[in-house]
Amino acid sequence: MQEGRMSEVKLDPVTLAVLKGRLEQIADEMDATLYRSAFNPIIAEAHDACHGIYDGASGDTLVQGKSGLPVFVGAMAFAVRAAVQAARPLGGMREGEVWLFNDPYDGGTHANDFKLVKPFFVEGRLVCFLASAAHWHDVGGNVPGNYNPAATECWQEAVQIPPVRIVQQGEVNPDVLAILRANTRMPDSLWGDLNGQLAALELGERRLAELFAAYGEPRVTGAMGALRERARKLMRAHIASLPDGRYSFEDYLDNDGIRDEMLRVALDMTVEGERLVLDFSRTSGPCAGAVNISRATAVAACYVALKHLFPDVPANAGVLDAVEFVMPEGLLITAQRPRPVGGYTETILRMIDVVFSAAAQADPARAVAQAYGTINALSIAGLRSDDARRGQRWVMFSFFGGGHGGHAGGDGLSHGNAPISTATIPPLEIIEAAYPVRFTQWSLRPDSGGPGMHRGGLGAVYEIELLEQSAQAFVFGERGKSAPKGIAGGGNGALNRFSYRVDGQWRTPPMVSKMMGIPLSRGDRVRLETPGGGGYGDPARRGAGAVERDRAMGYVTEGGQ
């Protein structure tokens, strides 16, 4: 079987623009198909998923849907290559196949994110790949929802599925499906989400076939190559706009959930003409707990940070071609199996933070102060006690928002979603309708944004009451010890605070931001007070009108920051 190559065909600007729009529309339609059909609120409501088109020779990202998670742009290229590698001993990928796996070491992110890869052929030739990634609700492991703060190896986090054929000759493989359903607390949710991903890939295949039929293979593959080259040139132009120099910054994770010791994430960023080097060599070594990440995930995190600094760069591997990554083996961010990686979100958020703060030294006008820096992954799980559903297992999993950093253009966003993604915070109405919980508070957190000429956005307060007879809660967060940093003279945001009320008394975790197996009874509560973003610029330069408005709105209180 001959692998696809991007054809060298000259295209006029209008045709290239049309093909670019058609390719992006295919990825967007795949996104929409999954969001409308998934059973899991983290996909259907929060959009924790992505779809794209990938190079037939290298597996690199060519196009990704605009509503998909940006962190998958880098990671999914590794995922496609992992599936291709697994298929080689079997003679390579064939038409009518879909490969599935959740390996976070080859495919990036964590084991909840299941990747599906489908080869696309034109007249028997492999031209490109369609792929889907989505966060499944629960895939085994010690903790419902899989954010296990006490994990010391990957098998304690989730079931590990290597690349396997979930679809052969157009039919779902019942043996693989049986294994998947046996390794989840939520088999119906898994079945619905898998079907949604398969439907998205089928639609993408049809749309891509229509495009190739209308324009011909040379033009379409020529456009794919041209778009990558444009992305590379655009990124290099942005790099050249930064002043040459070496800019360093380091920040810390609270702990790994096992040892209460802070872990360093350090960046030395070098700008030299069109050359950008991101050197993370001074980062801490791998740890016992679940905040390790793979190199694939680390590269993807850097793309997300660069996308924030240069918003017009596309979701295309050409952006990464212009950057040199120095990430030696033996670091927290280049972990190998069986190091646990389930809490990857916390570590990539810190990587984004250090890129923001290093870039602020080079060009404060372009940079953004640090955002709240944790998704506060919270699971509450138990068994139903009502007569109609007695004994049925339920698992509530969600992530939560906080404040974004101030910037040259104004104050940071209050109660935003994490900067690793476009995923939205699930609405409380959806959570309350699906699970036996009630939100007794969902509000902005006063005094949580870092002071500055442009204030950091506010974090939030979430208080959740259990309505069932009993359950257990699990939390995996960060920023309980090291606050989000301001830039250009701006102050820090507030620290993260998690507490829980049991037997009428409020308590806090011994590890500050991580805890598992919190026993809850009806009426008990958990409470999250999330960080605000860092401030931008000297607080003394904030206008009197803005200060007065902050007080009037309750964003800043007497005696607060």
Residue 206 reports pLDDT greater than 60: yes
Strands 275-279 and 323-326: parallel
Tell me: the pLDDT tens digits for 259-295? 999 999 999 999 999 999 999 999 999 999 999 999 9
* Average pLDDT rounded to a whole number, residues 220-237: 95
Residue 3 reports pLDDT greater than 50: no
Residue 190 reports pLDDT greater than 80: yes
Cα–chain center distance at 2: 34
* Average pLDDT rounded to a whole number, residues 206-226: 96
Strands 263-272 and 275-279: antiparallel
Q: Which two tokens stand for residue 38?
A: 């998934």
Residue 334 reports pLDDT greater than 70: yes
- Residues comprising the chain, all counted: 561
- Mean pLDDT (the chain, rounded): 94
Residue 148 reports pLDDT greater than 90: yes
Query: What number of other Cβ atoms are within 10 A of residue 70's Cβ?
Result: 23
**Spatial CB neighbours of 555, under 8 Å, sequence gap ≥ 6:** 414, 444, 446, 447, 449, 455, 458, 549
Residue 6 reports pLDDT greater than 60: no
Residue 329 reports pLDDT greater than 80: yes
Residue 74's pLDDT band, with cuts at 50, 70 and 90, is confident
pLDDT at 46: 86
Please give the residue that has the higher pLDDT: either 413 or 1.
413
Residue 102 reports pLDDT greater than 70: yes
pLDDT at 549: 97
Q: How far apart are CA 399 and CA 417, in angstroms?
A: 9
**Spatial CB neighbours of 53, under 8 Å, sequence gap ≥ 6:** 23, 26, 27, 62, 63, 64, 128, 129, 130, 204, 208, 224
Show the beta-strand stretches assigned E in 15-85.
49-55, 61-64
* Average pLDDT rounded to a whole number, residues 209-214: 98
CA distances from 481 to 107, 377, 416, 514 (A): 31, 17, 21, 12
134 contacts 366 by C-beta, under 8 angstroms: no
pLDDT at 8: 61
Residue 5 reports pLDDT greater than 50: no
Residue 239 reports pLDDT greater than 90: yes
Please give the residue that has the higher pLDDT: either 75 or 200.
200
Tell me: the pLDDT tens digits for 418-467? 888 666 788 899 999 999 999 999 999 999 999 999 999 999 999 999 99
* Average pLDDT rounded to a whole number, residues 91-95: 95
pLDDT at 67: 86
Residue 558's pLDDT band, with cuts at 50, 70 and 90, is confident
pLDDT at 561: 59
**Spatial CB neighbours of 360, under 8 Å, sequence gap ≥ 6:** 367, 368, 369, 487, 488
Residue 299 reports pLDDT greater than 70: yes
Task: Write down the domain spans for the chain.
Answer: 13-231, 368-560
Please give the residue that has the higher pLDDT: either 561 or 509.
509
pLDDT at 1: 37
Query: What number of other Cβ atoms are within 10 A of residue 263's Cβ?
Result: 22
3-state secondary structure string across 70-121: CCHHHHHHHHHHHHHHHHHHHCCCCCCCEEEECCCCCCCCCCCEEEEEEEEE
Q: How far apart are CA 318 and CA 20, in angstroms?
A: 15
pLDDT at 366: 87
* Average pLDDT rounded to a whole number, residues 339-364: 96
**Spatial CB neighbours of 17, under 8 Å, sequence gap ≥ 6:** none
CA distances from 63 to 44, 130, 236 (A): 22, 10, 19
Q: Which two tokens stand for residue 515?
A: 């805890």
Q: Which two tokens stand for residue 388?
A: 């109609």
Residue 123 reports pLDDT greater than 70: yes
pLDDT at 356: 94
